Amino acid sequence: MSLPPKTERSRSIRTTLLLWLLPFATLFMLLAWYLHGALLDRMSRDFVEERLQQEITLIEQQLTNGGGLQTLDSNYFGAMSHHLFAIRFGDQTRLSHPQWSAMLQPWLDLPEQGLIELHGTPAGDTQAHRYMAWRAEREIGGTAVTIVAAEDYSRLQAGTHELHLWTAAVAIGLLVVLFALILLAVQLSMRPVRQLQHDLKALKQGKLQRLSDTVPQEFSGLIAQLNQLLDTLQHRLQKVREANANLSHRIKTPIAAINQLVSSEQPITPEARSQISQRLDDISRQLDSSLHASQSGGPLAGASCLPLEQTRELLWMLGRLHNNVEFELDCTLPDNARWPIDEQDFSELLGNLADNAGKWAQSRVRVQLSEQGDVRTLSIEDNGPGVPAEERDQLGTRGWRLDQQMPGHGLGLAIVRDLAARYQGTVQFGVSQLGGLLVRVDIPIQT
């Protein structure tokens, strides 16, 4: 025994939103934190570079105005103690920290100029430091001068790193708040869905007749369509109930008459038999009429048909029934064209018209299918005797017939009118180019 296949349940909207928003929020905060670190490092480098350039310029001015290294005493370097200096003026060399000469002296012999990154270990220290330095080569008073000003970037970097970590802590806090806001926003955005679910349950229990239209704009179209569908179903149900009530009322009299004749102790005479037959014929007509009236509540939502395919099949069948009549099809529609008409309704609509034309035609019946804008048109014409202009207004009146000798109960064109009205369509009667009756049914597309 094989087990039924499992039905795959689609992911809920709330889960989908969370799966999209939460990772994107996390990535956004990570990107913002990364950019903060990059910008902080860039600002630190620019700040150090600007300060080093200013101090290189200040030293150059001191050397130019003072005439040599004698102007740069220990007090000057003490005021600038947060920086390291290495100066070569001709054959003379001056270091801000002579005890670190093993680290500072090689900086004067480097080939690079401008902002450079250096690494070194000060005397008495075991850990290498990272330095940002500005190296400049000048000529002052005919003497070659090399100046290197450096700053311990490791200390500044440690400070910015601590600031970056604090920023990470703040970002994590903001991320938690953002997660909470996302969860709250998703919950609030799902309130209309939960309200719709509650209203549908109340509708099923009979507590509501329509869905509330106090909804967000995104749901207004959906609610309007659902309410329209409810109105259509209610209208259909009302029509069915009315048709059943009418049928019950109409057949009570014929049934009572038959019951009276059958239950009578007198023998059934030919006249009584004729009355019974007539009453049964009345009941048959009423049942036929009620059958179509019970369907007059409106078209089924979303129903459609392939008019060309159904027309071909129906005309083939009618050609066998009326073998003395040639049925023609005049149509430019593509084979896959669809009309917003229920298949059963279209077959009944075309069948009644084509069968009626086949009964009255002498030899030809022509069926035309066409589309123009938002209107779908079905035309049936024959080369029969036609209908006088003064009698065309009565065509489609239930039970009214042009010729009592023709088989039927006069319901065919009445049913056509009912079906057309169901789709807000119109039925027109005129003179055919073939010489007989022309029946044109126009069905508009409902938007």
The full DSSP string for 43-108 is HHHHHHHHHHHHHHHHHHHHHHHH-SGGGS-HHHHHHTTTEEEEEEETTEEEES-GGGHHHHGGGG
More confident residue, 176 or 397: 176
Of the pLDDT bands very low, low, confident and very high (cuts 50, 70, 90), residue 56 is confident
φ, ψ at 362 (rounded to 5°) = -80, -40
97-118: average pLDDT: 86
CA distance 75 to 101: 19
Of the pLDDT bands very low, low, confident and very high (cuts 50, 70, 90), residue 302 is low
426: which strand partners? 442
Q: Where in the chain is the domain with CATH 3.30.450?
A: 11-189
Most confident range, picked from 56-70, 160-174, 277-291, 375-389: 375-389
Q: Is the pLDDT confidence value at 246 over 60? A: no
pTM to 2 decimals? 0.41
137: which strand partners? 146
State residue 101's pLDDT score.
83
Q: Apex CA 372: angle with CA 368 and CA 375, to 5°? A: 90
Candidate from 170-174, 248-252, 344-348, 443-447 with smallest mean pLDDT: 248-252
Of the pLDDT bands very low, low, confident and very high (cuts 50, 70, 90), residue 370 is very high
More confident residue, 278 or 443: 443
Tell me which H or E stretch contains 116. strand 114-120
270-296: average pLDDT: 64
Q: Does domain 307-444 have CATH number 1.20.140.150?
A: no
Average pLDDT in the chain:
78
Q: Which residue has the tokens 């202009």?
A: 389
CA distance 182 to 176: 10
Q: Is the pLDDT confidence value at 364 over 90? A: yes
Q: Could you tell me which of 352, 361, 355, 368 has the C-alpha nearest to residue 320?
A: 355
More confident residue, 71 or 100: 100
**pLDDT tens, 120-142?**
888 777 788 888 888 998 888 78
Q: Is the pLDDT confidence value at 90 over 90? A: no
Structure tokens at 354: 């084509």
Helices (H) and strands (E) counted in the chain, each on its own, are: 11, 10
State residue 404's pLDDT score.
40
- Side chain identity at residue 102, one-letter code: A
Of the pLDDT bands very low, low, confident and very high (cuts 50, 70, 90), residue 406 is very low
Q: Is 349 helix (H, G, I), strand (E, B) or coil?
A: helix
Q: Could you tell me which of 309, 314, 440 has the C-alpha nearest to residue 380?
A: 440
CA distance 296 to 423: 10
Q: Where in the chain is the domain with CATH 3.30.565.10?
A: 307-444
Look at phi and psi of residue 419 and say left if phi exceeds 0, alpha if psi is from -120 to 50, else beta: alpha
Of the pLDDT bands very low, low, confident and very high (cuts 50, 70, 90), residue 391 is confident
Q: Is the pLDDT confidence value at 392 over 80? A: no
Cβ count within 10 A of residue 412: 18
CATH of domain 11-189: 3.30.450
State residue 10's pLDDT score.
66
**pLDDT tens, 218-236?**
777 878 888 888 888 777 7
